[in-house]
């Protein structure tokens, strides 16, 4: 996960298409059993223009430590408490917003009261499973957007977010 994040940041800095950037294994942990991602996370935060504070590093480790995921601020706060990370819910919200603004996360708004953050920042869409309060990715090729209106004069469409709400049939 961190390898992909580092690659995404380098691509953004170089402004090159992904297939023109060659990344090699040295960016990955040399010891597969290594548990500390500190130096890599520190570099990722710095490359994104964020100061690597103790709390940001701890939250980044929780967010990116388990692979691709969708997480709410409340769920991340609960994970932080369980992991013994002393951080307020306000700090979690602020950090998630800063990660989003830096391009490290994508915001998925389900409704006015529910926002999730996605570690996959590429353009894609989501199912919101109402029974479980859970967001899952919809494969990119499974949705076709047709008939978009033209953007107002002087503006451009940056992306389209589709959230399909589903619940169990029972």
Q: What pLDDT score was predicted for residue 33?
A: 38
- What does the DSSP 8-state code read for residue 141? G
pLDDT band for position 76 (50/70/90)? very high
The SS3 assignment for 135 reads strand
The SS3 assignment for 11 reads helix
CA distance 73 to 70: 10
CA distance 80 to 88: 9
pLDDT in tens, 34-70: 445 666 889 999 999 999 999 999 999 999 988 899 9
The beta strand positions in 58-145, using DSSP E, are: 70-71, 106-111, 114-118, 125-129, 134-138
Closest CA relative to residue 105, chosen from 29, 9, 36? 9
The SS3 assignment for 114 reads strand
pLDDT in tens, 17-42: 433 333 333 323 333 334 456 668 89
CA distance 169 to 21: 46
Percent of the chain predicted with pLDDT > 90:
58
Per-position b or e across 102-121, b if 16+ CB within 10 A of its CB: bebbbebebeeeebbbbbbb
CA distance 71 to 119: 9
The domain 2-28+35-166 having CATH identifier 1.10.3720.10: the answer here is no
Neighbours of 135 (CB within 10 A): 21
- What does the DSSP 8-state code read for residue 153? T
The crossing angle, in degrees rounded to 10, of helices 54-64 and 89-101 is 70
Residue with tokens 């990370």: 85
Residue ranges of the domains in the chain? 2-28+35-166
């Amino acid at each position: 996960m961190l390898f992909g994040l580092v690659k995404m940041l380098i691509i953004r800095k170089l402004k090159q298409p992904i297939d023109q950037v060659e990344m090699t294994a040295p960016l990955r942990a040399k010891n597969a059993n290594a548990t500390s991602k500190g130096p890599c996370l520190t570099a990722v935060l710095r490359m994104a223009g964020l100061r690597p504070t103790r709390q940001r590093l701890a939250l980044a480790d929780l967010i990116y430590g388990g692979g691709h995921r969708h997480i709410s601020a409340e769920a991340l706060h609960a994970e932080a408490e369980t992991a013994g990370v002393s951080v307020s819910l306000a700090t979690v919200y602020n950090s998630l917003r800063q990660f989003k603004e830096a391009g490290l996360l994508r915001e998925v708004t389900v409704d006015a009261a529910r926002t999730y953050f996605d570690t996959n920042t590429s353009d894609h869409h989501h199912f919101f499973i109402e029974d479980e309060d859970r967001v899952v990715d919809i494969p990119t090729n499974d949705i076709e957007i047709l008939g978009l209106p033209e953007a107002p004069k002087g503006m451009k469409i940056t992306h389209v977010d589709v959230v399909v709400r589903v619940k169990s049939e029972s």
